[in-house]
Amino acid sequence: MHHSDFIAIVASIIKPNIYVELGLYQGETLSKVIPHVNKCFGVDMKINQELQNLEQHHGNKLTINYCKTDDFFLDFMGKIDMAFIDADHCAESALKDFENVLSLLSDNGIIFMHDTDPINNNYIDPGFCGDSYKLVPLLEKRDDVNIITLPLTEAGLSIIMKKNSTRTFLRNGIGFY
């Protein structure tokens, strides 16, 4: 299954209010998610016809910001319900994008990170997955998030949620699942 289809299926189930996508390429994932969300924000440094067409077609539902992801987060203050990180494939940049999204993630929000499980060493090239796969072991050690990585297509996809978002509730001080 292609990662864009998987993300769209999740969006169709949870129906996020605010969706943020970092790194749009030609807008394939964004176009599949748009029908299932209230408001989309896309971020990419390159303007292309596919993205302009998407933005024109979806009017007020979609805003594309042609800038660096760091610049986007300087002004964006909304709560993010679902995000897809697929911009700079450098581990350092991907971690910064992750931290920026996590700081604005709603309690039950979901973060998807692409390029976290390359199928072979050919995909470690910066033009493909880069070294963003190095984030998985770092995120697995954190005590504030849950992460699972799926071997979807050639690049992999990680799903991340805040630990306090697990489906645990307290009844008289006793936790139930």
Instruction: Print the domain residue range for 108.
Output: 3-176
The answer to whether residues 7 and 30 touch, using CB atoms and an 8 Å cutoff, is no
pLDDT bin (cut points 50, 70, 90) of residue 171 is very low
Q: What is the mean pLDDT of the chain?
A: 91
In this prediction the pTM is 0.90
**pLDDT per residue as tens digits for the range 103-148:** 999 999 999 999 999 999 989 988 888 999 999 999 999 999 999 9
Q: Identify the pLDDT of residue 125.
A: 86
135: phi then psi, degrees, rounded to nearest 5: -75, -30
In this prediction, what percent of the chain has a pLDDT beyond 90? 78
Q: Identify the pLDDT of residue 177.
A: 46
What is the CA angle 80-84-86, rounded to 5? 140
Round to whole Å and give the CA distance between 101 and 98: 5
Strand partners, 160: 111, 147
The answer to whether residues 157 and 149 touch, using CB atoms and an 8 Å cutoff, is yes
Of 147, 111, 116, 113, give the one whose Cα is nearest residue 129. Answer: 116
| Structural domains of the chain, count | 1
CATH number (domain holding residue 91) = 3.40.50.150
